[in-house]
Amino acid sequence: MISKYKKLMKKGSITHYCYLNSPLGKLILAGDKNFLILIEFPDKKRAKKPDKGWLYSPSRFKPECDELIRYFQGELKKFSIKCHITGTAFQKKVLNELKKIPYGQTMSYSDVADRIDHPRACRAVGSANGKNRLPIIFPCHRVISNSGKLGGFSGGLSIKRKLLELELEHV
């Protein structure tokens, strides 16, 4: 269950969600009336499901779905979706740095650590990536190991590989 995401929502606000069919499978998008808070890959092994109190609202996510569809078609390189990210100050710093990695390019965990002025924090960068609730928008799939191996990804390595291949097709 995604009950811990209730904490992300303002008291009294309704959590909306929808599904988006993508080349990666069906995605769950969730948020409040103003911000996207979650993109989830529901076909993965430990898929999160919407809580009972969530409201299925596909029309609420039309702008987000439109941008994601354009991204998957190779037409959109940067997102303008209004998002709410959570985590520690360090995690937020990592996530915001991810948005600076150019479309179709990769960077190592240590490169990201250097860019946020924490050169010894490679593992912490990996951990922050793993806690990213807005993959694709905050492109943690573009972060790989120094050796060139893919490393980890919340949606699984096959999805990470597909995202990187998709971007390389449209650079």
The residues annotated as belonging to the active site are 140
Handedness of CA 146, 152, 154, 155 (dihedral sign): positive
Question: Are 10 and 32 spatial neighbours (Cβ–Cβ below 8 Å)?
Answer: yes
Question: Are 22 and 120 spatial neighbours (Cβ–Cβ below 8 Å)?
Answer: no
Name the pairing type of β-strands 55-56 and 107-108. unpaired
Q: Which of 44, 63, 54, 42 is nearest to 8 (CA)?
A: 54
CA distance 130 to 27: 17
